[in-house]
Amino acid sequence: MTSRTIAPAGRGLRGRLVVPSDKSIAHRALLVGAVAEGTTVVRGFQGGRDNRATMAACRALGVAIDERGETLTIAGAGFDGLRAPAGDIDCENSGTTMRLLAGLLAGRPFTSRLVGDASLLRRPMRRVIEPLGRMGAAITSEPGDGRAPLRIEGRALVGVQHTLAVASAQVKSAILLAGLQASGSTRVDEPARSRDHTERMLRDFGARLCGGELWVALDGPQRLRGTTIDLPGDFSSAAFLVVAAAVIPGSEIRLTGVGLNPTRTGLLDALAAMGAAIEVVPEAGASEPVGTLVVRHGPLHATHIAGELLVRCIDEFPILCIAAARAEGTTEIRDAAELRVKESDRVAVMAELLRALGVAVAELPDGLVIHGASRLGGARVDPRGDHRIAMAAAVAGLAGAAPVVIDDPDCAEVSFPGFYAILARAAGA
C-alpha cells in the first residue's frame, strides 16, 4: 500500500488558491441534465472519482456526455430517454450517486441494479427504499438488511408526503427526483435544513417547486429543460485549506470562486465562534452564491457545535475536529450520530486519529469532546478509504510538531483531485 508523509509546515500557507468544482452540485448537474430535454452544458467540471461514477452511470443509462476540457455537454432526451443499463451500475464510493439514482430510476420502466465499493455496501439505504416504496417503487436490498446492492424495478409512482427522521439532502433529492415522475403532489418535511442544491438546480431546469425553511413540494409529472450550469468551487474542499490557514502561524490565503450556499457554510460560523479571522467577499454567481474567502492565522478558542449548525457543516466534521484540537479549551461536537454512517464511522475514526496525535478526546454516541492541545504529535493514519479523513490527517501533519504518515492517501481523489499538490504549493514545499 502506498503512503504519504506530511511534515510540519516550515512557514504559513500563502497565496491565491482555487479548489476543484463542487461535488454535490456536479452530481446534480449530471443527473438532472441526463433527464432534461435538450442539451445541458456544465462548465468548470473538475470532478473527482465520485462525480466520475455519476457520469459513468448516466452513460450506462444511454445518455451521451461529451467531455472537453472542463466542459461537459449532456444530450438529454427527458426521463423517457433513459435506457435499461446493460449491466450493474457501479456507484463506487458515492452515497449521493446511489441514493439520487434510486429516486431517478424508481419511476423508469426497466430494471437496474446499483452496486458500490465495500464502504458504500455498508451504508444504510432503507432511508431511500422506504419513502420511494411509499410512492409505489419496487426497490429491494439484496442482502435484505437495507443495504446495497439495490435492485430497482421501475413502476408508475404517486406523489406522497414524507417526514424525514434525519435531515438528509440525499434522501430529499431522491424523493424529489421520483416526484418529478409521479402523479400528484410530493412533499418532503425535514427536521433541520439540509443543503438545497437540488431545489436550486431543478428551478434552473424549469421545474416548479414550492417550499419553506423546512419543507419542499412539487406537483408531478414535470418535464425539465436543458440549461447551462457553471460549477462553483467546492466549499467542502476549501474547508481543509481554510482550517489549515487558520491554525498554521504566518498563513494568509485567498480562496476564489468558492460556493457559499448557506446550507453548506456552517464551518465559517463555527470558526467565527472560535475567534478565526475569515473575510467573505461575494462574487457574481447565478442560482448558487459564490465568493472569495480570505483566511489568516489567529488564535482559536473552544466552542460548542450541535443542532442545525452541525447539519450545515456535516461534511466538515473531520476538519473541524482538527481545528478543535488546535484551539484553546474544550470543544464539544454533538448531534453528529449521522457521521457514523458516512464513508467511514467518522466519529470513531476521528477519535482514534486525535488520540494518535496526542489529543485528549472523549467519544460519545453522537459526537466528540475534544481537549485542545498546544502541540500535535506525529502519527501513522489509516483513513479507512475515507477521503475526508485522509485530508484532515494531512492538515494535522502540516499543523503539528511531527510528521503524519497517511496510508492509502489517494482516497482524497474521491472529492478533491490534486489535494496534496495544492496543499504543498500553499505551504511553499
Where along the sequence are the contacts to ligand S3P (CB under 6 A)? Answer: 24, 27, 96, 168-170, 173, 194-195, 314-315
CB of 259 to ligand S3P, least distance (A): 12
CA–CA dist 148, 132 (Å, integer): 15
315 is catalytic: yes
**Beta carbon nearer to ligand S3P, 176 or 426:** 176
**Beta carbon nearer to ligand S3P, 155 or 346:** 346
Its sign, for the CA torsion 89, 94, 95, 99, is: negative
Whether omega for the bond prior to residue 221 falls within 30 degrees of 0, making it cis, is yes
371 alpha carbon, distance to own chain's centre: 27
**Beta carbon nearer to ligand S3P, 18 or 337:** 337
CB of 241 to ligand S3P, least distance (A): 18
CB of 368 to ligand S3P, least distance (A): 17
Phi, psi of 50 (to 5 degrees): -60, -50
**Beta carbon nearer to ligand S3P, 155 or 193:** 193
CB of 221 to ligand S3P, least distance (A): 23
The active-site residue out of 22, 196, 219, 315 is 315
**Beta carbon nearer to ligand S3P, 288 or 315:** 315
CB of 194 to ligand S3P, least distance (A): 6
CB of 405 to ligand S3P, least distance (A): 26
Beta bridge partners of 209: 218
Contact yes or no for 160/135 (Cβ under 8 A): yes
Phi, psi of 345 (to 5 degrees): -80, 90
What residue spans of 230-379 are helical by DSSP H? 235-247, 266-273, 307-312, 317-325, 346-356
**Beta carbon nearer to ligand S3P, 13 or 209:** 209
Residue matched to cell numbers 424549469:
206
Helix 126-134 to helix 169-179 angle, to the nearest 10 degrees?
Answer: 30
Active site residues: 315
